[in-house]
Amino acid sequence: MRKTKSKILVAMSGGVDSSVAAALLVRAGFDVTGMYAVNYDEPTTDGKNCWRGDYQDALRVAAKLGIKLLRWNFVKEYRRDVLDYMYREYNAGRTPNPDVLCNKFVKFGAWLDRAKKEGYDFIATGHYGQTKNGKLLCAEDNNKDQTYFLHQLSGEQLKCSMFPLGQYTKPQVRALAKKFDLPTAAKEESMGICFVGEVPMKEFLEKKIKHRPGKIVLNGEMVGEHRGLPFYTIGERIGVSGHNQTLLYVVDKNIAKNILIVGDENSPALYKKEITLANVNWISKPKKFPCSCLARLRHRQELQKCTVQKNGKKFLIKFSQPQRAVTPGQFAVLYQKNICLGGGVIA
């Protein structure tokens, strides 16, 4: 990173990654301001704001670095563009990825728009990825690479975004946090729902989605009753009371008939060699189709060889090897070498 007086707004979540991202930018000589975003404000069981603890951590880091920390509110945008979408998708029997939508519409949508209006040149985050001339490149740390969650961004959004951790591994980031003596150096990572916290997804959904029981079917025969299709994910292992074959997996959903279809772990229905992608966002679109690519159907999955061809407004992905638990509503992300081309929703 070259030394400049560009104005950078660093999104600080109170975690170690965004803390180190801010520290690196300060060290590099940028004009840095921190920003903590309140995106979800439902109180916890003890009546406190769910974001208060992380905000206090971000304040301590900002004080250590000698930078200002703003607190902006995006509760309305997060509810409209992430939570409402998530509930609609689950109600329709699909399994969405709220983190992808949050990046597209909130972090690099609403946050970036306001940052520009207030005179900042770039927004920076603690994501593990890299940008170059509006392209999205994989991070140095393959295990932490987060381009899967960033693939819906546009080239224009990427040109105004900075990912200072892109060339570091997670152990290196932890070491830097200790070197900078940051208050969050030993803080554990949050693994919960984006901005909501470590709440089990089914428990979270039950607040908004009603139970609609229906049949659980194995090999055409009813073997039990489910609570409602939104509460199950393709590939999920479930127990069926009184059934002698206890290890059963969700292999499909019949939305029209409200039926949950299950099978064993080797069920052919659990594997697919072709999928269709809708609403594809191309950051770096291939020059011609069909083309050879690598694909990832979930974060941290090993890249899978495939070919991509146009199918009207959608795209057909053909894999070299069958893919387990392909989940409608999730995203498939496409790569060539270390460049993230983009991706779309699994139809």
Helix (H) or strand (E) holding 280: strand 271-282
Domain membership flag for residue 191: no
pLDDT of res. 1: 47
Q: Is residue 187 part of a domain?
A: no
Copy the structure tokens of residue 163: 């990912």
Please indicate, yes or no, whether residues 231 and 214 belong to a single structural domain of this protein.
yes
- Residue 195: its pLDDT value, please? 55
Given the structure tokens 């902006």, which residue do they identify? 72
Average pLDDT over residues 307-327: 97
Residue 201, annotated ligand binder? no
228 labeled binding residue:
no
Q: Is 126 marked as binding a ligand? A: yes
Final residue before a domain boundary, out of 266, 281, 296: 266
- What are the tokens at 50? 């769910």
pLDDT at 223 over 60: yes
Strand duo 31-38 + 7-11: pairing: parallel
Q: Do both 231 and 299 map to the same domain?
A: no
Q: Output the pLDDT for position 3.
A: 47
**Average pLDDT for residues 297-324, to the nearest whole number?**
97
Question: What is residue 112's predicted lDDT score, i.e. its pLDDT?
Answer: 98
3-state secondary structure at position 31:
strand
Q: Please give the sequence-ordered ranges of beta strands (E in DSSP) within 211-263, or none if there are none.
A: 214-218, 221-226, 237-238, 248-254, 259-263
Higher pLDDT, 254 or 191: 254
Kindly report, residue by residue over 17-64, the tens digit of the pLDDT.
999 999 999 999 999 999 999 998 876 655 667 788 899 999 999 999
Point out the domain boundary residue: 179, 200, 231.
Answer: 179
We report the CATH number of the domain holding residue 260 as 2.30.30.280
Round to whole Å and give the CA distance between 204 and 87: 10
Q: Name the residue type at position 346.
A: I
Instruction: Supply the pLDDT for residue 2.
Output: 47
Residue 169 lies in a domain: yes
C-alpha dist (Å) from residue 236 to 146, 197, 251, 328: 23, 22, 8, 14
Select from 129, 159, 179 the last residue of a domain.
Answer: 179
Same domain, 159 and 13: yes
In a domain, 199, yes or no: no
Query: Could you list the active site residues?
Result: 102, 194
Are 108 and 257 within one domain?
no
CATH number at residue 304: 2.40.30.10
* Domain count within the chain: 3
pLDDT tens track for 131-153? 999 999 999 999 999 999 999 99
CA distance 327 to 332: 10
Domain that holds residue 338: 271-346
Instruction: Check whether 313 has a pLDDT greater than 70.
Output: yes
Q: Is 155 marked within a binding site? A: no
**Residue 16 annotated as lining a ligand binding site:** yes
Same domain for 173 and 43? yes
Residue 32 belongs to a domain: yes
CATH code at 28?
3.40.50.620
Q: Which amino acid is at 151?
A: H
| 128 and 261 both lie in a single domain | no
Question: How far is residue 127's CA from residue 141's CA, in Å, rounded to a whole number?
Answer: 11
What is the rounded CA–CA span in Å between residue 291 and residue 11?
37
* Mean predicted confidence (pLDDT) in 61-77: 97
Contact (CB, 8 A) for 297 and 337:
no
66 annotated to a ligand binding site: no
Q: Residue 124: is its pLDDT beyond 80?
A: yes
Q: How does residue 246 score in pLDDT terms, banded at 50, 70 and 90?
A: low
Residue 168 lies in a domain: yes
Are residues 34 and 58 both part of a single domain?
A: yes
Q: Is 11 annotated as a binding residue?
A: yes
